[in-house]
Amino acid sequence: MTESPSESISDSPFNHNNKGNDAIVPEIPIEIVSEEEMALLEAAIVSARASFSAIPAIRSSTLSFHGNVRSIQSITALSKRRLSGCSEPDIEDSDGLKSVQKKTRVADSFLHRFRKKGLYVTDITATEWCEKQMEFVLLVGKRKESKAMKAGIARHAKLEEEVVKRVKVRVTSTEDRWALKLLNFITGVNQLLFEGLTRELPLIGFAEGVWMVGVIDEIRMPVTETNRLPILVDTKTRVKDTLPAEPQRRNGRLQLMCYKYIWDDLVADKFPSEKFFTSFSLNPRGILSEEIREMTANSGFPAETLDDIVRYYRNTCSMLPSAHDQLLLRYELQKDHSLLGEDEFAYDSDWVKNKIQGCLEFWLGEREASYTPEDERWKCRFCQFSSVCSAKSPESADYNKTPS
């Protein structure tokens, strides 16, 4: 069966406002590569994956769809403009002034201009890496994928193929696309519960006042422990046979902690269904495509509308325990996929919330983008925007410092 035209449907779960004709890059969690490749990688990670896993009728198969998003081709004014047409509030009316200022920030914020309603987890990690670089990526556009990036993406696809079969599905509406994302989560969770392992599991949740979407590399369900808690795992690939510098490891930890944060909210039944429908202008009672309805019927949970799928999604989440507090980062050598090392660390709820909130200040236009810390200015050597960024000059000592 041929796929329906997709020109009018964005594969992005958020309503982008970008320009141009760049194809979307599948959202793969940050690939840790050599220091020489790091900045190029971080510039690319804001592109999000447009296909998630699992066809309901087959426990370990995947639904996918295709489309394009567009990227900004020229620098526009920074997000501090005044809204045109706003009347000036009385200078003594401080509440009115604050209200206008807040509306101005929201309307001109990067979140509103480039993501509309929510963020990808990789938006958070890219911002933590360097806010100024994130700003350039949004306003100018990212560089083409490097060889190392492509190798990392291919490796994740291979890992997914070991446990998941990818299947194309015809979609006819935005509701169909969201239904597929939620169905992929449901089927991936079923695979986890029955087989103890699933990979490339999509997460859609609401955290710190914004929608967040991510894809977990791998989830393991221990079979020997009394309290079976899902263990979240992320695999990073590297060109060099060395472990990454601490800022890279910190960035990877943030990514996994964001996943656990969203996961734990979902299993606590904190998915706001009505807000979901209104935020993305979805019709909860619109009839899904015939192909999707057939798949759900064959899988034992017949669904006619997106509202039906959302209810199954929430019910599935309610069956799950919170994720394990111990999270795992794996580092592989790209050349032969040999294991370089593992970083097992404990979840820190206060730390990850502070990190997310700090990133949101930038995305919501509450402050200007900050530069990377002085002791991490070595990142600038690998940034494609270093020639136009005033963070550090190539002659400085910190700029040329080798990361430890």
Q: Which sequence spans correspond to the domains of the chain?
A: 35-76+95-400
C-alpha distances (whole Å) from 188 to each of 29, 158, 171, 184, 250 are 18, 17, 20, 6, 28
Lowest mean pLDDT among 88-97, 181-190, 215-224: 88-97
Residue 390: partners with Cβ closer than 8 Å, 6 or more residues away = none
Q: In this structure, what are the phi and psi dihedrals at residue 107, rounded to the nearest 5 degrees? A: -65, -35
Banded model confidence at residue 142, pLDDT cuts 50, 70, 90? confident
Distance linking the first and last C-alpha atoms of the chain: 53
* Nearest Cα residue to 280 out of 115, 54, 40, 140: 115
Lowest mean pLDDT among 48-62, 94-108, 270-284, 297-311: 48-62
Q: Under a CB-based contact definition with an 8 Å cutoff, are residues 124 and 111 in contact?
A: no
Average confidence (pLDDT) over 315-330: 96
Share of the chain above pLDDT 90, in %: 54
Average confidence (pLDDT) over 378-399: 76
Tell whether the model's pLDDT for residue 103 goes beyond 70.
Answer: no
Helices (H), ranges, 299-371: 306-318, 349-363
The residue with greater pLDDT, 45 or 255, is 255
Banded model confidence at residue 179, pLDDT cuts 50, 70, 90? very high
Q: Under a CB-based contact definition with an 8 Å cutoff, are residues 162 and 199 in contact?
A: yes
**Ramachandran area for residue 4 (φ above 0: left; ψ -120 to 50: alpha; else beta):** beta
Helix (H) or strand (E) holding 345: strand 339-346
Looking at residue 160, what is its pLDDT? 66
Q: Under a CB-based contact definition with an 8 Å cutoff, are residues 237 and 32 in contact?
A: yes
* Nearest Cα residue to 216 out of 401, 52, 101: 52
What are the pLDDT digits (tens) for 207-254? 999 999 999 999 999 877 677 899 999 999 998 999 999 999 999 999
- DSSP labels for 136-174? HHHHH-PPPPPHHHHHHHHHHHHHHHTT-EEEE----SH
- HSE, side-chain direction, 13 A CA sphere, residue 267: 14
Tell whether the model's pLDDT for residue 153 goes beyond 60.
Answer: yes
* Nearest Cα residue to 234 out of 54, 52, 51, 30: 30
Q: What is the CA radius of gyration of the chain?
A: 21
Average confidence (pLDDT) over 256-264: 98
Query: What is d(CA 224, CA 244) in angstroms, rounded to the nearest whole number?
Result: 32
Query: What is d(CA 1, CA 111) in angstroms, rounded to the nearest whole number?
Result: 37
Q: In this structure, what are the phi and psi dihedrals at residue 59, rounded to the nearest 5 degrees? A: -60, -30
Residue type, 377: R
Our CA angle for 347, 199, 172, nearest 5°, is 115
Looking at residue 169, what is its pLDDT? 79
Q: Which pair of tokens denotes residue 83? A: 């809204």
Looking at residue 365, what is its pLDDT? 95
DSSP state of 381: G
Looking at residue 62, what is its pLDDT? 44
Looking at residue 399, what is its pLDDT? 56
Output the pTM of the full model. 0.71
Residue 21: partners with Cβ closer than 8 Å, 6 or more residues away = 68, 70
- C-alpha torsion sign, points 233, 239, 244, 245: negative
Tell whether the model's pLDDT for residue 369 goes beyond 80.
Answer: yes
Residue 160: partners with Cβ closer than 8 Å, 6 or more residues away = 53, 62, 166, 199, 200
Query: What is d(CA 191, CA 198) in angstroms, rounded to the nearest whole number?
Result: 6
Banded model confidence at residue 382, pLDDT cuts 50, 70, 90? confident
Looking at residue 394, what is its pLDDT? 53
Average confidence (pLDDT) over 359-388: 93
CA 204 to chain centre: 9
Tell whether the model's pLDDT for residue 54 goes beyond 50.
Answer: no
Banded model confidence at residue 333, pLDDT cuts 50, 70, 90? very high
Which among 79-88, 235-244, 320-329, 380-389 has the top mean pLDDT?
Answer: 320-329
Average confidence (pLDDT) over 170-199: 93
Q: In this structure, what are the phi and psi dihedrals at residue 57, rounded to the nearest 5 degrees? A: -70, -20
Looking at residue 95, what is its pLDDT? 53
Q: Which pair of tokens denotes residue 59? A: 């426990």
Lowest mean pLDDT among 67-76, 205-214, 228-237, 347-356: 67-76
Q: Quick one: 274 exposed, middle or buried, by C-beta within 10 A (0-12, 13-18, 19+)? A: exposed
Average confidence (pLDDT) over 150-175: 74
Banded model confidence at residue 35, pLDDT cuts 50, 70, 90? very low
